[in-house]
Structure 1
């Protein structure tokens, strides 16, 4: 491992963190409102809109059904429009966010549906407004499950970011492909694998710890 390769690995590590962090932020910002809409507009919801709910559900399922590598290529025109380029870290953030948002939305939806309906009915009986029910009942009660689902989403995004590196997105996947696989350098491959394992383990540990503390509260 030369000093130059160590520098490349450090830069690739930070690139991966940027890709995953920004994409995860977008997934949370869009995924939670989407999950709330799917719950409150579904059967039995207090804003029931069956047709719109089905349409949004089909759209979410459609994006979830497309493999990430296919979505990465299919979104090239949209990526160029948003990021101004189709290579590099910021170009990878677009398909990562598009892929992660429906995935996280479905996980959050499951957590929201597990909230005791009696709590919602009790809030309605004392005159709580719909937004107050979402903010003070649904989201707080479902928060441990949402955080657990977010942890799973981030872990999957780390793997997807490595896959994006194979098509010029940068990050640890790019280093593993260019300097490990293509140059038959087993050491580089093993180091990248070790970094990814440590990164995933750190994310999982942090997420599990947050879930335990939220359940205690």
Structure 2
């Protein structure tokens, strides 16, 4: 075991840090885009506080199209767009754009679903008191749906980690790249099993943390 870590410890550590970097940067940007988009989907849908069927139909269609494309295909499909935005299509920097394109619509849909689960009667009660739409969004919709939102973000984060692993196929780095380059191509099964074990631990920790936070928010 000691010999294994002497040989591979530095490689796996660097890959772990790359995975954390890809996941954290992509997740933050995706949340910044996805959460407001999810709110807009709720507000502009039929019967929403700011009903706009044209906007809703366009955004709903775009989200459905993006979510229907497997990440590995999306990764190659938007290479020109990635090159334009990031200036490169390889490494951590080159995979942030496709990760955001893949994750932001998913978060938007989860956000929409969470907000729609809020009791409509509560919303109508606040509307009848003349409360502004902004205050209803922040004080009612998001507050009431926060536990569900956290669980949704937890699911999105785990899906994002899986996408970073697939990004290793285009030289993005990270644990997926190590598993593919060394574990598969160079026939080092121990390296592959180790990276898989690390990914499983990461996912378990994130899921457990998300569950704890969601339960706490649900009790408040």
TM-score, length-scaled by structure 2? 0.96
SS of the residue 2:122 aligns to: helix
1:1-217 aligned at under 5 Å gives the runs: 1-217=4-220
Alpha-carbon displacement from aligned partner over 1:153-203 (angstroms, at most 9, x marks no partner): 000111110000111100001111111111111110110010000010011
Structure 1 residue 3, shift from structure 2 partner: 2.2
- Superposed CA deviations along residues 37-89 of structure 1, whole A, max 9, x for unmatched, are 11111111111111221111001111111110111001111111121111001
CA distance in 2: counterparts of 1:177 and 1:52, whole angstroms: 42
Aligned residues: 217
> 2: distance between equivalents of 1:5 and 1:82?
34
- CA distance in 2 between partners of 1:2 and 1:117 (Å): 56
1:118 is displaced (CA, Å) by 1.3
More deviation, 117-126/144-153: 117-126
Q: Which runs of 5+ in 1 are unaligned?
A: none
Deviation for aligned residue 1:4: 4.3
In the alignment, structure 2 segments of 5+ residues that lack a partner are none
Q: Which segments of structure 1 move beyond 4 Å, counting only runs of 4 or more?
A: none
Q: 3-state SS of the aligned residue for 1:30?
A: helix
Helix, strand or coil at the partner of 1:160 = helix
